[in-house]
Each structure stands twice: as structure tokens, then as C-alpha cells.
Chains A and B, each alone.
Chain A
């Protein structure tokens, strides 16, 4: 939780426009949002102040979303952070790989921002 008592969400995506929209939507829905432009930055932010939930793009420079998820799960301080993967890959094997590395949910691009907000809300409610 942030100082204001709002859940903190980490959004990592190298596509500026997608990240901007997700950040805008989640901020407007009452969450505090921190942004990362690649997987490395996402891991650094998560290690510094573990968020309540992470929305990660799969295809990111430096460290991809699968690997970020795997490393979050491997660290005791971040292992319980719910992760939603955003993926433009549609193969079943890609989706199942996401779950294998520890993701809690996934959303296929092109995505519906309303659906993303609903899934964020549902995962946070489950905590």
C-alpha cells in the first residue's frame, strides 16, 4: 500500500502508448502506479518497494516478462506479488509458459482496458 493507503501497482511495458494508457486507467481507478520501461527497471522497482500487483508485458527489452515473473517468484520479498502478463503471443504454449513461471493471469493484446481493470481488482481482492 502507498502512504495514501492505496494499492501500488507496477506497470512494465516498453510501448509508451500502452503503458501510458494502463497507467492512466489504473490511476483513475484509485491505484498508485509505478512505471517501468523494461524488465530490468521493473525488477529494480519491485525490489526497492514491492508493489501490491504487477502488470508486465511479455516482450520487453533486457529482461522479458516471463523472466521478471520468475525472478519475482524466486525472491522471498516479492514472491507473493500477483502478476498479470500482457502478451501479444496467442499460442497456448506461450500462455501456459506464463503460468508455469508463476503468473496469476494473462491478457492478450489487443486488450480491453476495462478487462484489465477488472482482473486487477479481482486479483487484489483475493489477497
Chain B
């Protein structure tokens, strides 16, 4: 029994030594490979920089060197614009990388490979892949759809606005990613966003209004203002939020009506927007809601009322109940 135990200990010790040896050997190999790669990167940096700067074509490279240059150019693609970016796109097109990634996006079985392709196509920046990325928004895998959404934003593919917001409304991609991607397109996205105000799905209309609030201007206020009469409370709330940025004097009446909306979200957003309009005609309505309405609405209305006329609010607060008005007056004095 003791002999068997001793044998077991020795065997385990031997096995342990072998495993440690393998680990050490692997570590040395990995460190060696990293050193070789760093040396190669160092050697290839001047030709990569010269290529990016339009100083000449890349010399003939081995397969390994091509991989390293492609990695470096992929990194630069995220950070550069202008002719240097154009040279990166041309390089990847000439190497067949764009076609390879498009094929992977369409046919690769593992979802991670399709997602990687969608991601890489956005980084490379070839303008011809927009439609394929829009198609990838219908992929079965959420990671692929999200990567495609991000890449559509990177490419500023305006044809992607409506599919992006529809995908976000259907929870197929995260709303934050779809909104970010649409924001990258800036004012170019406005026509598509305005079209989406007539979409069948309330979530699509609300999403379009929310993004329009960020990329639109006062001229879009009228279209957004119409959203205050929408059948969906989420659209009315999005419209009221948007008018806090895009609203003008012509929206005063509609926003005052929205203060009596059945949805507290809409009333709170309308109060905030009225505070931003700085029109003293809204003061009476705001004060009434600051004193009588539900917590969030009263708080928003009180802050908006103080933004319109802090002195009047201080006088009213002294003779009335309503902790929100008192709080807003105090906050204004602190600011």
C-alpha cells in the first residue's frame, strides 16, 4: 500500500515536471514569436508609413509580412481620413481582402467569423459594401447584426438609415449602436429620418425622432412637432424631448397642450422643452404642474419654470405648497 502510494507520488511529480516543462517551452515559443513579430513590425514600419503618405507603393512582401502590414493598415483605417484612407481601401481591394470578407460575411458558418467580417469591412472602409452590410442586419446572430450596424455607421452609408432604425425598433440591434451609426451620417441622414416619421411601427417613428433631434435643425421642428399628436405615447414623448432642442416659438401651443398629455413621460418632456423655449407664456402652466403633477413631471416643470422666471417662482414658492418648486429655486440660487 505504502509502495503504491509512493509510486503514485513519484508519477504525479514526474507528470507535474513534464507539464511545467511544456508550459515553459510554450511560453518561450510565444515570447520568441512576439519578439520576431515586433522586429518585423519595426522593419516594415517605414514602408508602411511611406505607403500611407503616398510616398510609393509597398514592395513585394512575403505572406507573413503582408499579414503584418494588413494589421497595421487596419489600425490606421480607423484613425485616418482623406487620401491616406483611400490608399488603405485601395490596398485591401487590390489584395482581394474586401471580396474575401464579403464572402465570409455571406457564407461563413461560424457566427464569429461573419461578425468579424462585418467589423473588418467597416474598418477597411470600402464604400461598395454598404448593401451587403444592410443585408447582414437580418443575420440570425445578434453579434453579426451589431457589427454590421457599427460598420454602416463607420462607412456613413446613408442607405442604411432606415434599415438600422427598423432593426433597432425590432430589438435586432442595440438601439445605442443603431443611433450611433445614424449619427455618424450627420445631416445626410435627415431625408431618411423624415421619411421614417411616417413608418408603421411606433418604435421606428420614435427612434427616427430621437436621432433627428440630434442631427436635424430648427427646420425639422415642424415635422417633429406633429409627433406630439401621435397615437403612441413613446412617439409623443420622443417628439417632446426632440423639441427641447429643435423647438421654436411656433411649437409653444402644441407643447402647452402636451403638458396635459395622459402620459407622464410626455408631460415631463414637454415641460423640459418649454423651459428651453424660454417663452414666459408657459410660466403659469408650468407652475401649476410643478405644484400639482406627479413627481417626475412636477420636478421637470419646476426646473423649467425657474429657467423662465426664477424671481417669480421664488415669490410663488414662498406662498404655496410644492417641494419641487422650492428645490428648483434653491438649485438655481446655487448655480
- Chain A residues proximal to chain B, CB less than 8 Å: 15, 17-18, 20-21, 24-25, 28, 109-115
Contacts and interface: CB of A to CB of B under 8 A. Distances in A.
Given A20-B49, A28-B55, A111 B79 contact: yes
A113 to B, nearest CB: 6
B268 interface: no
B13 interface: no
B298 to A, nearest CB: 29
Contacts of B76: 17, 21
A112 B76 CA distance: 11
B90 interface: no
B72 A17 contact: yes
B35 interface: no
Contacts of B84: 21, 112-114
Contact of B79 (A17, A24, A28, A114): A17
Nearest to A109: B79
A43 B72 CA distance: 29
B205 interface: no
B85 interface: yes
Contacts of B79: 15, 17-18, 109-111
A115 B75 CA distance: 20
Chain B CB within 10 A, most for which of A15, A109, A113: A113
A113 B49 contact: no
B297 interface: no
Contacts of B81: 110-112
28 contacts: A15-B79, A17-B75, A17-B76, A17-B79, A18-B79, A20-B45, A21-B49, A21-B52, A21-B76, A21-B80, A21-B84, A24-B49, A24-B50, A24-B53, A28-B55, A110-B78, A110-B85, A111-B80, A111-B81, A112-B80, A112-B81, A112-B82, A113-B53, A113-B80, A113-B82, A114-B83, A114-B84, A115-B82
Nearest to B77: A110
Nearest to A115: B82
Interface string B77-98: 0111111110000000000000
A62 to B, nearest CB: 21
Give me the 6 closest cross-chain CB pairs, A-B, nearest first.
Answer: A112-B82, A24-B49, A112-B81, A110-B81, A110-B79, A110-B80
A115 B84 CA distance: 11
Contacts of A113: 52-53, 80, 82, 84
